[in-house]
A and B are shown apart, each in its own frame.
Chain A
Amino acid sequence: MTDTPATRAAKATPVRVARKIKGLSDRAIAWIFVGPTIFLLLAINIFPLIWTINLSFTNFRANRPNREVDYVGLRNYERILTDSDIWLNMQATAHFLFWTIFFQVLIGFTLAYLINKKFKGNDLWTTIIVLPMMLSPAVVGNFWKFLYQPQIGLFNYIVAFLSGKDPSSFEMLGSVQLAPWSIVIVDTWMWTPFVMLICLAGLRSIPDYIYEAAEVDRASKLRQFFTITIPMVLPFLMLAVLFRGIENFKMFDLVVQLTGGGPGSTTELTSINLKREAFEKWRTGYASAYAIILFVTVFGLASIYVKALNKVKER
Chain B
Amino acid sequence: MKHLKLASASALSIAAASFASTAQAEDLTLCWAAWDPANALVELSKEFEEQSGHSMSFEFIPWPNFADRMLNELNSGGKLCDLLIGDSQWIGGGAENGHYVKLNDFFDAEGISMDDFAEATVYAYSTWPKGTPNYYALPAMGDANGWFYRKDWFADPEIQAAYKEATGQDLREPQSQKEMLQIAQFFQGREIDGKTVYGASIFTERGSEGITMGVTSALYPWGFKYENTPGSYDMDGAVNSAEAVEALEFYKEFYETATPPGYTNSYMGESLDAFKSGQVAMAMNWFAFFPGLYADPATGGDKIDFFVNPPQNQAGSTLGGQGISVVAYSNKQDAALEYIKWFADPEVQAKWWSLGGYSAHNSVLNDPGFKDSAPFAGDFLEAMGSVQDFWQEPAYAELLLAMQKRLHDYIVADQGTAQEALDKLVEDWTEVFEDEGKL
Chain A interface residues (CB < 8 Å from chain B): 59, 62-64, 66, 85, 149-151, 153, 168, 171, 173-174, 176, 256, 259-266, 276, 279-283
Contact = CB atoms under 8 A, between A and B. Distances in A.
B262 A262 contact: no
Nearest to B64: A260
Interface of B: 68, 71-72, 75, 93, 97-98, 205-207, 260-265, 394, 397-398, 401, 405, 408-410, 412-415, 435
A262 B408 contact: yes
Contacts of B71: 63
B261 A276 contact: no
Contact of A171 (B207, B264, B397): B264
B261 A173 contact: no
B397 A265 contact: no
Contacts of A176: 413-415
Given A263-B265, A263-B412, A265-B409, 19 more contacts: A59-B435, A64-B394, A85-B405, A150-B262, A151-B261, A168-B261, A171-B264, A176-B414, A176-B415, A260-B265, A263-B264, A264-B405, A264-B408, A264-B409, A264-B414, A280-B68, A280-B397, A280-B401, A281-B401
Contacts of A173: 262, 264-265
A264 B397 contact: no
A264 B415 contact: yes
A64 B96 CA distance: 9
Contacts of A168: 261-262
A188 B97 CA distance: 45
B264 A262 contact: yes
A261 B206 contact: yes
A151 B75 CA distance: 42
Q: Chain A contact residues: over half helix, strand or loop, or mixed?
A: loop
Given A171-B262, A171-B264, A261 B398 contact: no
Contacts of A66: 97-98
Contacts of A264: 206, 405, 408-410, 412-415
Contact of B412 (A63, A262, A279, A282): A262
B397 A281 contact: yes
A151 B93 CA distance: 42
Contacts of B410: 264
Nearest to B416: A264
Report, nearest first, the 3 A-B pairs whose CB atoms are least far apart. Answer: A264-B413, A174-B264, A264-B409
A283 B97 contact: no
Given A63-B71, A168-B261, A171-B261, A260 B401 contact: no
Nearest to A283: B398
Contact of A63 (B93, B206, B261, B415): B93
Given A176-B414, A264-B412, A264-B415, A259 B265 contact: yes
A263 B262 contact: no
A151 B68 CA distance: 31
Contact of A265 (B408, B414, B435): B408
Contacts of A276: 401
Contacts of A283: 398, 435
Contacts of B408: 262-265
9 contacts: A63-B71, A64-B97, A66-B98, A174-B265, A260-B207, A264-B413, A264-B414, A265-B413, A283-B435
Contacts of A150: 261-262
Contacts of A266: 413
A280 B67 CA distance: 9
Given A62-B75, A150-B262, A176-B415, A262 B97 contact: no
A285 B291 CA distance: 45
Contacts of A151: 260-262
Contacts of B260: 151
A259 B413 CA distance: 12
Contacts of B264: 171, 173-174, 262-263
A253 to B, nearest CB: 13
Q: Which of B71, B262, B409, B410 has the most CB of A within 10 A?
A: B262
A157 to B, nearest CB: 13
Contacts of B207: 256, 260-261
Nearest to B432: A281
Contacts of B206: 260-264
Nearest to A260: B207
Nearest to B260: A151
Contacts of A153: 262
A171 B261 CA distance: 7
A292 B414 CA distance: 32
A174 B68 contact: no
A264 to B, nearest CB: 3
A23 B228 CA distance: 81
Nearest to B99: A63
A168 B263 CA distance: 11
Contacts of B398: 281-283
Contacts of B68: 279-280
A85 B263 CA distance: 25
Contacts of B413: 176, 262-266
A66 B415 CA distance: 39
A150 B259 CA distance: 13
A167 to B, nearest CB: 9
Contacts of B415: 176, 264
Nearest to B407: A264
Given A62-B75, A281-B401, A282-B75, A262 B261 contact: no
A272 B206 CA distance: 12
Nearest to A167: B261
Q: Which of A171, A173, A174, A259 has the most CB of B within 10 A?
A: A174
Q: Which of B98, B261, B394, B405 has the most CB of A within 10 A?
A: B261
Contacts of B265: 173-174, 259-260, 262-263
